[in-house]
Amino acid sequence: MAVMTMREALNQAMREEMTRDESVFLLGEEVGAYQGAYKITQGLLAQFGEWRVRDTPIAEEAIAGVAVGAAFIGLRPIAEMMTFNFSILALDQIVNHAAKYRYMSGGQIKCPMVMRGPSGAAAQVAAQHSQALESWYAHIPGLVVVMPSTPKDAKGLLKSAIRDDNPVIFMENEVLYNLKGEVPEEEFHIPLGLADVKRAGKDVTIVAWSRSVVTSLAAADLLAKDGIEAEVVDPRTLRPLDEDLIFDSVRKTNRCVVVEEGWRYAGFGAEIADRVQLNCFDDLDAPVVRVTAADVPMPYAKTLETAYLPQPDRVVDAVHKVLYR
Amino acid sequence: MAITKVVLAKLSPTMEEGVIVKWTKKEGDPVKVGDVLAEIETDKANMEMEALGAGVLRKILVPAGGKAPIGALIGVIANAGDDIAPLLAAASAPAPKPAASSPVAVPAPTPAPVAAPAAPAAPASAHVALPGVAVVPPALAATEAGRVKASPLARSIAARENIPLSAVAGSGPGGRIVKRDVEGYAPSTAAGPVAKAPAAGGSHAVVPFPTVPAGQELPVSNMRKTIARRLAESKFTAPHFYVTVEIDMDGAVALREQILKVENVKVSFNDLVLKACAKALTRFPMVNASWLGDKIATHGEVSIGVAVSVPDGLITPVVRNADRKSIVEISREVKDLAGRARDKKLRPDEYVGSTFTVSNLGMFDVSEFTAIINPPESAILAVGAVQRVPVVSGDEIRPGYRMKVTLSSDHRVVDGALAAQFLAEVRRLLESPISLFV
């Protein structure tokens, strides 16, 4: 195993897939000469040349439209969004074209593209640059939505995403780019639609993805001091969702807390809570409790940013609630 | 959804009608179970009446100042969208005569049929009023309190293990029965040896000292208000007098060891005292009585309240018909009641209706003390510790077990000689404990 950051792991995944398959190419703002706004695409222009690493104008709908068109004719584009906040400009291409054509053409047209970039809050970048929009994309049939929480998951999942024949929304997290972890040195993939137990426990199931996994693991450490063993389940892919692993865990622990960085209102955690109540009703000893962002635009002030986001102590409180403690 | 009839409760043994002193909730106010709805003037005192269902107080049928008979519908609690018109129509219909044949089946507006499995049918002697929380009549609690709240998991465990949920005390929010409650469930009437030993010395274990900040004004809980009101009323109204006797407990100590050895059940001295009092009370009905102003009611059953210390005060769960129960039955029942009293899980019918009370401070090694009568009873027994002391036996001094008990009596009902005779009987029963079995 090699220890590397998530930034390096993502870079490796693209490099390996671009080496393996000439139809894979990269486009986006500053991905080439500047080597990526967050340096994820470092060295790729030098290695693969400007036909396969394309700098684009600041025009997200155009980036998405070019990627969709290229995918329709058989290429495998990786479209980088500088952040997913800007992908809102590209929603029509994603929702009405990328997600729909395979269905509307009776399977004749596929859209094997990846749209990737950071999502969620960073540090004081305020309301327009801190949004966790996974619930928007997970809502759309025809899309695959992936959100890794470790370097290993990031690499294994991005390689699978590039090879997948469906449009994949691959949402990274700026705060996690420097997170270090072990990554296998040999060729490996992590299948899309497979959840993972990030920490085993018997008293409560905490479902979390992306940065919230880190928050939840910190909460699990705090809970362990009180003798509460939390199991942290990371779906990794929000669509399709590996609900069986979540159900297995809840049937064991009888309690479920869902932690997400997005807003509560119609947030993805509600989807999980709904499936758990439907499938594990007789196994539940308490209602499913959600820990989410505050239902406001992200404030700029640091103290308010901290209050807005799920923190370990709020996860601990939620666990106490479902344990009736 | 659930519509809860607010029915005028029987709040004193002789009450036949009540006056609504005031409604503490207005029409349209949200109401939780246990909220005080109204203050009712009975023939004896003003009492608080609690809500037995949640929702909104939709209708007040008898306004403040109005008078109503026991069981009359005086209000309706329901959710905002519930249709209460049929109920109100039924309530405003003329009171049904027993034989009157009505072509339409109108639900009777007067009391719902009493279907309380645990509560004995209210005998003439039944009465309420203990130093506990506000009083709720047992029958109503059982018929109108609504469904049992339990988590889905608790329900599935209960179904699998054949546990009656209605017998389980819920520890979750709003009394919800959760996994730990059904997992810890052991029927109180289960046969076989009792696994856990009772707390040493008495039926009620010592409650850890609460830490109370000094130099502050603390809010007064409802329980404390009730204690303050009822015990002040008792002490200032009933002329108390006190008679103390010392009881030779050598025989009781031996009996207790024998029960432990033979039956593998650890009974407490307090259990033996309860049994002795119950037996003695059947022989002295005037001690098992209530002063009613112009008459004295002697009660048809012997039901003994056991004072249990709880974090915010005390409550007195009731061992009903204690004269007809064995020592072991009494012991198990007291253990169950005291445990649930400390967890605040007693049902109202479990702490109302006692006819005599026993209070024990033996576990604190108190030699003797006096207690305030628990109205409307006429006497209370204060029990000290069983202590090993030098006793004169013939011309010698030997070690022996002695216990002092003090009877507080209401002189309006019980005279000094009667108190002495009653105590002599209690002493006789405890000194020759074989008598407790015959």
Whether A188 maps to a domain, the answer reads: no
Alpha carbon of A234: minimum distance to chain B alpha carbons (Å): 24
Identify whether residues A147 and A227 lie together within a single domain: no
Nearest alpha carbon to residue A30 among A72, A1, A60, A69:
A60
Residue A235, domain CATH:
3.40.50.920
Which DSSP letter does residue B205 get? P
Whether A189 maps to a domain, the answer reads: no
Residue A77, both tokens: 């584009």
The arrangement of strands across the sheet holding B55-60 comes to B4-7, B73-78, B55-60, B30-31
Whether A127 maps to a domain, the answer reads: yes
Residue A27, domain CATH:
3.40.50.970
Whether B383 maps to a domain, the answer reads: yes
- In angstroms, the Cα distances linking B32 to B3, B83, B169, B174 are 13, 19, 19, 10
- Contact call for A281 and B152, based on CB within 8 A: yes
Identify whether residues A90 and A233 lie together within a single domain: no
- In angstroms, the Cα distances linking B417 to B199, B241, B286 are 36, 12, 12
Domain count, chain B: 2
Whether B25 maps to a domain, the answer reads: yes
pTM: 0.53
pLDDT at B308 over 80: yes
Put simply, whether B179 touches A (Cβ < 8 Å) is: yes
Tell me if residue A182 is catalytic: no
Exposed/middle/buried for A107, CB within 10 Å: 0-12, 13-18, 19+?
A: exposed
Domain boundary among A183, A216, A243: A183
Q: Which residue has the higher pLDDT, B206 or A171?
A: A171
- Contact call for A324 and B154, based on CB within 8 A: no
* Percent of chain A at pLDDT exceeding 70: 100
Confidence (pLDDT) at B111: 39
Q: Are A124 and A305 in contact (CB under 8 A)?
A: yes
pLDDT at B207 over 70: no
Residue B20, domain CATH:
2.40.50.100
B151 vs A contacts (CB less than 8 Å): 284-286
Alpha carbon of B312: minimum distance to chain A alpha carbons (Å): 20
Identify whether residues A215 and A257 lie together within a single domain: yes
Domain boundary among B57, B74, B94: B94
Whether B408 maps to a domain, the answer reads: yes
Backbone angles phi, psi at B383, to 5 degrees: -110, 130
Residues 234-263 of A with CB under 8 A from B: 254
Q: Which range marks the domain in which residue A32 is found?
A: 2-183
How does pLDDT run across B142-170, given as a tens digit for each residue?
A: 323 457 889 999 988 888 888 888 778 88
Single out the catalytic residue among A16, A30, A129, A139: A129
- Contact call for A284 and B179, based on CB within 8 A: no
Backbone angles phi, psi at A92, to 5 degrees: -65, -45
Exposed/middle/buried for A57, CB within 10 Å: 0-12, 13-18, 19+?
A: exposed
Q: Are A102 and A109 in contact (CB under 8 A)?
A: yes
Confidence (pLDDT) at B187: 57
Residues 29-88 of B with CB under 8 A from A: none
Q: Are A26 and A11 in contact (CB under 8 A)?
A: no
Domain boundary among B49, B66, B94: B94
Domain boundary among A183, A216, A235: A183
* Percent of chain B at pLDDT exceeding 70: 79
Identify whether residues A299 and A277 lie together within a single domain: yes
Residue A116, both tokens: 């990737």
Identify whether residues A235 and A257 lie together within a single domain: yes
- In angstroms, the Cα distances linking A308 to A21, A298, B6 are 43, 7, 45
Q: Are B131 and B374 in contact (CB under 8 A)?
A: yes
Stretch A90-99: mean pLDDT: 97
Whether B231 maps to a domain, the answer reads: yes
Chains A and B form CB pairs within 8 A to the count of: 27
- Contact call for B153 and A324, based on CB within 8 A: no
Identify whether residues A82 and A131 lie together within a single domain: yes
Identify whether residues A248 and A278 lie together within a single domain: yes
Put simply, whether A283 touches B (Cβ < 8 Å) is: yes
Stretch A97-118: mean pLDDT: 97
Q: Are B63 and B19 in contact (CB under 8 A)?
A: no
In which band, very low, low, confident or very high, does the pLDDT at B180 lie, cut at 50, 70 and 90? confident
Whether B214 maps to a domain, the answer reads: no
Q: How far apart are CA A289 and CA A295, in angstroms?
A: 16
Domain boundary among B94, B129, B146: B94
Residue B283, domain CATH:
3.30.559.10
* Phi-psi map region of B293: left, alpha, beta (phi>0 left; psi -120 to 50 alpha): left
B180 vs A contacts (CB less than 8 Å): 324
Q: Which range marks the domain in which residue B85 is found?
A: 1-94
Domain count, chain A: 2
Put simply, whether A285 touches B (Cβ < 8 Å) is: yes
Number of helices (H), then strands (E), in chain A: 12, 14
Backbone angles phi, psi at A165, to 5 degrees: -90, 5
Q: Are B101 and B41 in contact (CB under 8 A)?
A: no
- In angstroms, the Cα distances linking A179 to A2, A123, A176, B354 are 14, 15, 5, 68
Whether A213 maps to a domain, the answer reads: yes
Identify whether residues A140 and A263 lie together within a single domain: no
Identify whether residues A290 and A146 lie together within a single domain: no
Whether B142 maps to a domain, the answer reads: no
| Residue type, position B115, single letter | A
How does pLDDT run across B370-424, given as a tens digit for each residue?
A: 999 999 899 999 999 999 999 998 899 999 999 999 999 999 999 999 999 999 9
Helix (H) or strand (E) holding B74: strand B73-78
Whether B144 maps to a domain, the answer reads: no
Stretch B209-234: mean pLDDT: 79
Residue A104, both tokens: 């509307």
| Residue type, position B49, single letter | M
Length reported for chain A:
325
Identify whether residues A205 and A276 lie together within a single domain: yes
